[in-house]
């Protein structure tokens, strides 16, 4: 049975699945295609097969297994982001080791999901990531937080004026950055600030440009490291 969608019809999200186990691929395809706003356009058993059709299919989101043969999911994520920078990658794996969580996010993945995730939750993660949000499975979120550098002299963090000199964001952009760091999508930011989604997206684009980063994950990491929020 198809999942109901709101009155304002969602744009169809094109998804690619890269997974070497056929049964898992089939299960993911069936679960995701049960949503009216998600369409699986690519099923690949290895990264190379997916990369060969990327330019033709141009998926919005790639579900990337990490333990792939020949080219692993980390290498494949880097390649996907090089070829299609606007395509979002979700690491979907059974691995919960700290080094793999950090490697996946550092390579350009926008989300890290464990394979036991509920299908309905996975569909929501795909929607959020497609809108620009980042998401980390609660089971491994503490591992990701460990990667942030520890600040010994918290009392000596630069004041706001100093931070503004380093990254010239407006007051509203600082507000948007706080929501971005918390993982909110453009739609959620728009609701929080009572502005249109278009305006929220424009603020996010301006923030990425001013911070000299390529995506929201890099902006969030830089914001935390430099004490911007």
* Predicted local confidence at residue 157, as pLDDT: 41
For the record, the structure tokens of 100 come out as 């793999």
Q: Which two tokens stand for residue 120?
A: 């309905």
pLDDT tens profile 96-126: 777 788 888 888 899 999 999 999 999 999 9
Question: What value does the mean pLDDT of the chain take?
Answer: 82
Average pLDDT, integer, range 187-197: 87
Q: What is the pLDDT of residues 208-225, one digit of tens each?
A: 888 888 778 878 878 877
* Integer Cα distance of 221 and 144 in angstroms: 10
Work out the percent of the chain whose per-residue pLDDT is above 90: 41
Confidence of residue 10 (pLDDT cuts 50, 70, 90): low
pLDDT one-digit tens code per residue, 66-86? 989 889 999 999 999 999 999
Of the ranges 42-56, 115-129, 156-170, 188-202, which one carries the lowest mean pLDDT score?
A: 156-170
Residue indicated by tokens 């706001």 = 160
Domain assignment of residue 98, given as a range: 13-145
Residue 191 included in any domain: yes
- Is the same domain home to 160 and 134? no
Same domain, 141 and 177: no
5 in any annotated domain: no
Q: What is the maximal distance between C-alpha atoms in the chain?
A: 56
Q: Are residues 111 and 217 in the same domain?
A: no
- Asked which of 98, 114, 145 is the last residue of a domain, the reply is 145
Q: Is the pLDDT of residue 189 over 60?
A: yes
Provide the token pair at 55: 């330019």
Return the closest-CA partner of residue 112 out of 59, 66, 148.
Answer: 66
Beta strand segments in the chain, E: 13-18, 38-44, 61-64, 88-93, 111-114, 135-136
What CATH number has the domain bearing residue 174?
1.10.10.10
How distant, in Å, are the alpha carbons of 32, 42, 213 from that of 186?
22, 26, 17
Could you read off the pLDDT of 148-176 as tens digits, one per residue?
A: 555 444 444 444 444 444 567 888 888 88
Tell me if 83 is assigned to some domain: yes
**Entry pTM:** 0.65
Q: Which candidate, 228, 227, 194, 201, places its Cα nearest to that of 216?
A: 201
Q: Please report the pLDDT score of residue 171 as a whole number.
A: 85
């Amino acid at each position: 049975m198809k999942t109901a969608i709101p009155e304002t019809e969602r744009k169809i999200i094109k998804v690619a699945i890269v997974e070497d186990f056929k049964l898992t691929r089939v299960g993911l395809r069936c679960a995701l295609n049960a949503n009216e706003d998600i369409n699986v356009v690519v099923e690949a058993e290895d990264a190379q097969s997916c990369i060969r059709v990327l330019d033709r299919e141009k998926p919005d989101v790639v579900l990337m297994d990490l333990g792939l043969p020949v080219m692993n999911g980390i290498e494949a994520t880097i390649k996907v982001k090089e070829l299609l920078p606007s395509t979002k990658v979700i690491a979907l794996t059974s691995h919960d080791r700290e080094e793999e969580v950090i490697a996946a996010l550092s390579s350009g993945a926008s989300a890290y999901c464990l394979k036991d995730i509920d299908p309905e939750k996975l569909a929501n993660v795909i929607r959020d990531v497609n809108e620009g949000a980042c998401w980390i499975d609660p089971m491994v979120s503490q591992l990701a937080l460990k990667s942030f550098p520890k600040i010994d002299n918290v009392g000596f963090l630069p004041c706001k004026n100093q931070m503004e000199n380093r990254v010239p964001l407006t007051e509203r952009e600082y507000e948007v950055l706080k929501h971005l760091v918390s993982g909110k999508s453009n739609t959620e930011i728009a609701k929080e600030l009572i502005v249109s989604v278009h305006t929220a997206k424009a603020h996010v684009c301006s923030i990425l440009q001013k911070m000299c980063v390529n995506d929201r994950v890099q902006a969030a990491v830089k914001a935390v490291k430099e004490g911007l929020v």
